Amino acid sequence: MSEEEFRLLRDLVYSHCGLWFDDQNSYLLEKRLSRRLAVHQLKSFREYYQLLRFNRKRDQELEEIMDLLTTNETYFFREEYQLKAFTDEIVPEICAARGTREHNHRIRVWSAGCSTGEEPYTIAMLLLEMECLKDWSIEIVGTDISQRVLQHARRGIYGPSAFRSTDDYYKNRYFAPQPEGGFRVLDNVRKLVTISHLNLLDSTRMKMLGSFDLIFCRNVIIYFDQTAKKKVVESFYQVLRDSGYLLLGHSESLMNITTLFNLRHFKNDMVYQKPVGSTFGGA
């Protein structure tokens, strides 16, 4: 891959989904995209760039390379201390704020970058265990840009590596062993979760998801450059309800990205919260 080919392909990928490859990672882009040259029997990366720009199946091809370029390794009950803040502090706070008015007894959570589904199903299991949510309407939306991992999430069958941090209680209560191997998420969990395809840079489609009380977006924006991070986080702000929460990965921060959110210090973790009555004016 020549320097010019790298920059053309890098910029095309970036404009599509916000993933950024700096000059030091040109080898990574070359290694992963070389498979697609072989599939299409192309002789150069410039020919492949032309395919991505002008071929009538370009959208389908962009979906294929999203599977190659994104990292999808995950498992159930990841980052336990953050989940403890979620169940012990954040959700009880939401319940208390809603009071006794039954028409307010609804909670919506978005797992943005849900990969193969372990995160939204983990959230569903945790919420099913919470007494304060008994008789509440619970809705969890899981989205990802990769169609391949979404198919896995919809299938809901997982092997041993997905359970590396799962207590036997949850495995026995919410999964059924399958004759062909693996464990399937039970329907009482699955019915709370909707799995959808979404590009996080598509702010119009993001708004169509509706409003949320809480967004999990863990270890996703680390792959974006500063401009893309800002756009995605500001879109999160738009769909969060007042006092809504944004939970990022342990190595992620909104420092130097936006000042729209307040940083809340809970006993178990620090999370971002949308201020009450705030108006969006950028940051």
Any bridge partners for residue 264, and if so which? 271
**Secondary structure string (H, E, C) spanning 158-169:** ECHHHHCCCCHH
173: annotated active-site residue = no
**Residue 69 phi, psi (nearest 5):** -95, -15
Cβ atoms within 10 Å, residue 101: 7
d(CA 186, CA 171): 10
Q: Which of 10, 108, 144, 213 is catalytic?
A: 144
Residue 70's nearest CA partner among 119, 20, 36 is 20
d(CA 248, CA 244): 13
Residue 141's nearest CA partner among 197, 103, 97 is 197
**Cβ-contact 43, 1 below 8 angstroms:** no
Q: Which of 7, 32, 148, 173 is catalytic?
A: 32
167: annotated active-site residue = no
Active-site residue list = 32, 144
